[in-house]
Amino acid sequence: MSEETKYIRGELIYTIYTNQAEHFSIAKIKVLKTNEAFDEDELVVKGYFGEIFPGEAYVFYGTFVHHKKFGEQYHVDHYERYVPKTEEGLVSYLSSDLFPKIGKKTASRIVEALGDGAINKIIKEPDVLKDIKGLNDERRTILVERLKTYQGFDTIVVALQKVGIGLKLAQKIYQHYQDEAINILEENPYQYVFDIEGFGFHRADLIATDYGISLNHPSRIRAGILYILNESLNDGHVFLPVDKVKDKVNRLLEARRYGITDEMLTKELIEMAEEEYLVEENDRVYLPVSYYAEAGLTTQLKRISELEVEETVVEADLLKVVGEVEEEEHLTYGKVQYDAIKQALMTKVMILTGGPGTGKTTVIKGILKAYSELNDVSMKLQDYTKRSEFPYILTAPTGRAAKRITESTGLPAYTIHRLLGWDGHQHFEKTQDNPLEGKMIIIDEFSMVDVFLANQLFKAIPSTMQVLLVGDEDQLPSVGPGQVLSDLLHSQQVTQIKLDEVYRQKEGSKIITLAHRIKHDELTADDLIKASDFNFIPCQRHQLLHSIETIVTRAIARGFDIQDIQILAPMYKTDVGINEINTRIQSVVNPKRKGARELHTKDTVFRTGDKVIQLVNQPEDNVFNGDIGKITAIFWEKENVEGEDQVIVTFEDDDVTYTRQDLLNITHAYCISIHKSQGSEFPIVVMPVDRAYRRMLRKNLLYTAMTRAKQSLIICGDQSAFLEGVTTIDTNERYTTLIERLTGVFTDEDYREQLEEDLEEQALEGEEVSPFDFM
């Protein structure tokens, strides 16, 4: 690289804007090296790019331009992917978070002195480090011990860096494949796409090209088909129409450019269906896991529904019991609420829906007390010698939602994962052969349950048990595939009661009023007037972060704990996104200070006192995706027998230990995504709204965010963007066949028998289809 040629080498952080038709993008990079007169850590680059990936390094050639609103930017004339030499890869590895107190300069001295084989030399003879400047005895000991711990990983990291894969992704790859990582990459780089989260198809294409794999090879076509179907699960689809599969695959693979014909694509689809890599039915293409989950759910629902309720309900007895409940709770049930209690007691499977403030919780309490009185069973767990004799099971998709049920009913509640005894992989303790025990199960926040989890749950429900599904169909659908609650309601095959009358509105809740005005498409600017529990603070984008800081600071000054204040935003990677908000709020509420321990990773600083959120399920530690906790301690490697830096996070009553490698599983939670907030409630919700989020501003998303607030809701930002968002319907149709299958199974005995035969055949083949294979 000539010194005269001006360049900036940088790692892509995120893309701010992209025009796919013209391949024009604006992106933010972390500056790694440059001969330009520029000394900031980050920079915005813009230009005409092909596919560029977060976490990957590029060399950009261009000129600086000054934008009157956004400041200094780099206009890129051309660019190239940066491929480090072996020595650079070693320096990058040795100066990474894995080796504390070894900086870039010290790592460079080690590699300069010991060459490409530095790591093997150090492991064989640690004394070779004695002459390296900047390495005292303590650092030498730490380095040698860590190199021995990560032996094998080092060669994988350096090899992966040669194809542009950074350390964070390399850690995921090594955790999954261990020593086979490079062999698999060379044989079929497309395998990484399915096994490694964050490894994109186009990245695999670049590597395949490097290894001489032709871009019209059958393995690439098959990988493209599976990739499109996997991606469709992330968009909530259970299947895709075959024409849509072909269209998406053609665009992904640039079929015309690389000579991939329709005949070649059709041939692979047929063969993959024959080999059971996918299921094709009526011009619809499914992954087997989604086909059998949806089919299984419908047959399980039919199995439970067809056995009648054992006990009959005498109206006079029910009226007496409900009257007693009304006296105890100091309330009066409305007619629809009374009907809901009655139907739930008389029906095997029932759905109870309604918006906030309509009394769903009040009805649940009525159902439980009425069932106990009419069937002469106790609601006190201590009255039973065995837990399995307790007649009630209360469950919800998230820990926070389960906690809310416990608080409102006084009965124990569990997450669905914990209830089913999920081990975090493919095994569930509770199944059709080892079912749940009890008389009645109540599943709250059912709109969050995807088709995979619903199938697994209903498998474990015995035919004798009564089922009550509770949810709000106007909230966001599940993150995973399907729209189970909505499809069940629209199928008209399951008894349902909808609560319409708003009770909390009568108590003066502006939050509830706004939610119902959004629900009925009646919200106007006049509704956004300040109230005791609501405020809308108009501000422009450049003021937004400061406004959020001010709101949080004032709330804390008034005595609120940061755990009670939740900022909700729809996107991570914009200049007013979740990541940036977390950084700013951490600096305000938990800044660097004397005596406070902090642990640095490549992108994040974790401090004692930080609010964090769990990003993956860890059933072995009783902590699940979306659980929010607090960092209560940080221990250095010298302070524990494991000899590793450790972060201790307290979730409710459980302390969970994270090593450096585990820190990928948590992130700051001062601001979280609206999707992550589903099933939770917070005393104070702060909700920024800006046109930077425009593609996410939809009615159901904003409705979900607003209804998370219990005491106070503060919206700040662009009022016109908010008003447009609450009238914008999410037009992303989800492809599901649950309504069709429910209708078939409940009304056509031949259809039901055929579906059950398919499921039986699949089960006999011994192939365990996990609902979590694709999460």
Residues contacting residue 390 through CB under 8 Å, at least 6 positions apart: 381, 384, 438
Burial of 424 (0-12, 13-18, 19+ CB in 10 A): middle
For residue 103, pLDDT beyond 90: no
**pLDDT value at position 769?**
42
Asked whether residue 360 is marked as a ligand-binding residue, the answer is: yes
Burial of 138 (0-12, 13-18, 19+ CB in 10 A): exposed
Asked whether residue 359 is marked as a ligand-binding residue, the answer is: yes
Which own/partner pairs from 289-292 qualify as long-range (CB within 8 Å, at least 24 positions apart)?
Answer: 289/452, 289/769, 289/770, 289/771, 289/773, 289/774, 290/233, 290/238, 290/239, 290/451, 290/452, 290/481, 291/238, 291/239, 292/455, 292/758, 292/759, 292/762, 292/769
Q: What is the pLDDT of residues 634-673, one digit of tens each?
A: 999 888 877 788 999 999 878 999 998 889 899 999 999 9
Identify the band that residue 299 occupies on the pLDDT scale cut at 50, 70 and 90.
very high
- When the pLDDT of each residue in the chain is averaged and rounded to a whole number, the result is 87
Tokens encoding 339: 């009907």
Distance CA 262, CA 274 (A): 18
Residues contacting residue 330 through CB under 8 Å, at least 6 positions apart: none
Alpha-helical regions (H) of 347-398: 360-375
Distance CA 626, CA 629 (A): 10
Asked whether residue 626 is marked as a ligand-binding residue, the answer is: no
**pLDDT value at position 390?**
94
CA dist 727 → 74, 683, 698, 721 (Å): 38, 26, 7, 10
Distance CA 708, CA 715 (A): 13
For residue 196, pLDDT beyond 90: no
Q: Residue 586 in contact with residue 610, Cβ under 8 Å? A: yes
Identify the band that residue 770 occupies on the pLDDT scale cut at 50, 70 and 90.
very low
In three state form, how does the secondary structure of 729-740 look? CCCCCCCCCHHH
Alpha-carbon Rg for the chain in angstroms: 28
| Higher pLDDT, residue 775 or 318 | 318
Question: What average pLDDT score do residues 72-87 get?
Answer: 78
In three state form, how does the secondary structure of 192-229 look? HHHHCCCCCHHHHHHHHHHCCCCCCCHHHHHHHHHHHH
**What is the spatial order of strands in the sheet that 628-635 belongs to?**
654-659, 646-651, 628-635, 611-614, 666-668
**pLDDT value at position 85?**
66
Burial of 231 (0-12, 13-18, 19+ CB in 10 A): middle
CA dihedral (142, 144, 148, 153) in degrees, to 10, reads: 90
Tokens encoding 27: 């992106």
Distance CA 498, CA 519 (A): 14
Distance CA 278, CA 531 (A): 54
For tokens 């918006």, name the residue. 355
Q: Residue 223 in contact with residue 265, Cβ under 8 Å? A: no
Closest CA to 635 of 624, 643, 627, 625: 643
Residue type, 480: G
Helix 541-557 vs helix 578-589: crossing angle, to nearest 10: 40
For residue 447, pLDDT beyond 50: yes
The dihedral region occupied by 422, where left means phi > 0, alpha psi between -120 and 50, and beta the remainder, is: beta
3-state secondary structure of 87: helix
Question: What average pLDDT score do residues 282-286 get?
Answer: 96
**pLDDT value at position 357?**
85
Q: Residue 443 in contact with residue 280, Cβ under 8 Å? A: no
> What percentage of the chain reaches a pLDDT higher than 90?
50
Alpha-helical regions (H) of 620-775: 674-677, 699-706, 719-725, 738-747, 749-764
Q: What is the pLDDT of residues 416-433, one digit of tens each?
A: 998 999 877 678 899 999
> Which range, of 185-189, 432-436, 490-494, 740-744, averages the lowest pLDDT?
185-189
Identify the band that residue 771 occupies on the pLDDT scale cut at 50, 70 and 90.
very low
**pLDDT value at position 529?**
93
HSE (side-chain half, CA atoms, 13 Å) at 735: 21
- The residue ranges of DSSP E strands in 397-463, in sequence order, are 413-415, 440-443
Q: What is the pLDDT of residues 224-235, one digit of tens each?
A: 999 899 889 989
Tokens encoding 574: 């914009």
Question: What average pLDDT score do residues 292-304 get?
Answer: 95
Residue type, 139: R
Where do the domains of the chain lie, and which CATH numbers do they carry?
A: 7-159 (no CATH), 188-286 (1.10.10.2220), 296-499 (3.40.50.300), 510-727 (3.40.50.300)
Closest CA to 182 of 211, 160, 161: 160
Q: Residue 8 in contact with residue 38, Cβ under 8 Å? A: yes
Question: What average pLDDT score do residues 193-216 get?
Answer: 81
